[in-house]
Structure 1
Amino acid sequence: MIDHLSVSSIKTYQRCAKQWEFRYIKNLKLAPAGVMIAGTAYHQALADYFNAVLDDQAYFSMEACLDSFSGSWDRQLSEHKTREDETIEEFDRIDWGNDDPGELKDKGIECTKYYHTNIAPKIKPLLVEERVEAPLDSIKFVAITDLITENEIIDHKLKAKRFSLSDLQNDMQPTAYKMFYPDKQFNYHVALRQKTPSVEINEAVRTQDDISFFVEMVLDTLKAIRAGSFPARIEGWHCNENFCGYYKLCRGK
């Protein structure tokens, strides 16, 4: 049925198993949100910056970084393709929601400028967008780390709001990545696309017990998937036609 799982697929199953079935079994893909287009462009700009540092220690100019952001943005819109985890996803349209595309792009550019000036020069990269995998039962658990340094796992986020304490304590991503790099500190570098851009560095602490619990949860999820268990979870903010693209298909409305 499947040959691998990832953080995003596990999150989808935990949110609503019926969503997971529509997405990963029936291959019914939704229009990406506009913030996903911006996030992909932001990640590409920073990946190009740190890859340039790795290649020859050359200075990757502000202009080059912004060209990378704009180039990624334009390619996604013209080619109708964006990146989700380790795969390239095709789409027919973009769900911009309440976001104005031009304003969203401008805020992404301003965050890229801020990171290039204030954060990036202090970082010495070892690995950029490294694909890592671990055997779990008869499948693989797959992750792509944004940036690895001597002491850190760094994950880039482009967000409208700050992480809450609950997010930092419970998000699966730090736990999954610490499974591969248990001795490194996990830090979110959160670029806030607000009127005045900024980047907050948030550490997410995980213990070996957290990692062990995560592995068991993934294995339990895999068992449920193999058993064909895909119940709809109708209680929660997600089960709403404004938040779930499968709502009408699922609820028959």
Structure 2
Amino acid sequence: MLPVPYLSISQINKYLTCPKQYEFRYVQKIPESKGSPLVVGSSFHKVIEESNRQKLDTGEILSDEEMKDIYDSYWKKNVHDIDWKPDENPDEEKERGFILAKAYLHDDIGKSLNPAGFEAKFDVEVEGIPFRGFIDIIEEDGHIRDLKTSKKTPAENVAEQSLQLAGYSYAYRYLTGNYEAGCSLDFAVSLKTGPKIVRRETEITDYRMDRFKDTFYNVANAIDKEIYYRNEGTACSWCSFRDICKGEE
């Protein structure tokens, strides 16, 4: 039995990173600290979503001033939850996210968006197990896009390794009965030289889809059997539960 009545990509990734981390978060329900990248990313997403909603209505994206108002408003609602690192500058982090949102919407990659849906919620089943999530953008031709912010240029094969894109493709096929037109990760990258917009595309083959379903089922089965071991490694350095976990010995 799952501690949450469904599995999501974030849950699966957390379990794959460290099963003990999953237990702390979803079984013991210990609150997890929120780092600045999460709030930067969610504020970025909000601007992209609202700008493209206007684009659907009027054919034009938001002005830079309108983008800034939306970004600032969303940031203000969430900034109090951030667990700041000693070397982080809150004002610089806030500005970084807005610069990335503006750069994405003015870049050819952002301009090429032809969305039919935003933050499209789905509730489907994989091998009888509930699967829930939100697809960032589904374009009119059936292309799936997920948006990311980053401080470094993503690897060329990052989309080919994305469990998230495979899961979203599964949901799209389940609900529509059709194959997606394509899948991509759109990155807004914050470099010292300025913002950089990068797309990484991939194809979800039948073999890759089978691998997704196998991973989904096996993670669900391990959770059902309460297999929560510690996965000692680099993830310990940023884990929200590090002090609790290390103090249990």
Given that residues 159 and 190 in structure 1 are in contact (C-alpha distance below 8 angstroms), is that contact kept between their aligned partners in structure 2?
Answer: yes
Residue of structure 2 in register with 1:245 after alignment? 240
Given that residues 34 and 97 in structure 1 are in contact (C-alpha distance below 8 angstroms), is that contact kept between their aligned partners in structure 2?
Answer: no
Q: d(CA) in 2 for partners of 1:58 and 1:198?
A: 22
Cα distance, 1:43 vs structure 2: 0.3
Q: Can you list the C-alpha shifts for 1:58-107, whole angstroms capped at 9, x where unaligned?
A: 54222111211111111112xx4xxxxxxxxxx4x523463321111111
What are the ranges of 5 or more consecutive residues in structure 1 without an aligned counterpart?
Answer: 81-90
Given that residues 152 and 184 in structure 1 are in contact (C-alpha distance below 8 angstroms), is that contact kept between their aligned partners in structure 2?
Answer: yes
Given that residues 123 and 130 in structure 2 are in contact (C-alpha distance below 8 angstroms), is that contact kept between their aligned partners in structure 1?
Answer: yes
The one-letter code matched in structure 1 to 2:83 is: I
Q: How does 1:155-234 map onto structure 2 within 5 Å? A: 155-181=146-172, 182-195=179-192, 196-234=194-232
Q: In structure 1, the residue corresponding to 2:238 is in which secondary structure?
A: coil
Normalised to the residue count of structure 1, the TM-score between the two structures is 0.87
Q: Structure 1: which 4+ aligned runs deviate by more than 6 Å?
A: none
Q: How does 1:110-129 map onto structure 2 within 5 Å? A: 110-119=99-108, 120-129=110-119
Cα distance, 1:171 vs structure 2: 2.1
Q: Percent identity?
A: 22
The one-letter code matched in structure 2 to 1:145 is: I
Normalised to the residue count of structure 2, the TM-score between the two structures is 0.88
Residue of structure 2 in register with 1:36 after alignment? 38
Q: How does 1:75-90 map onto structure 2 within 5 Å? A: 75-77=77-79, 80=80
Q: In structure 1, the residue corresponding to 2:234 is in which secondary structure?
A: coil
Residue of structure 1 in register with 2:121 after alignment? 131
Q: In structure 2, the residue corresponding to 1:248 is in which secondary structure?
A: helix
Q: d(CA) in 2 for partners of 1:249 and 1:158?
A: 29
Stretch of structure 1 that moved more, 177-186 or 225-234: 177-186
Q: d(CA) in 1 for partners of 2:20 and 2:69?
A: 40
The one-letter code matched in structure 2 to 1:193 is: S
Between the two proteins, the alignment pairs up a number of residues equal to 237
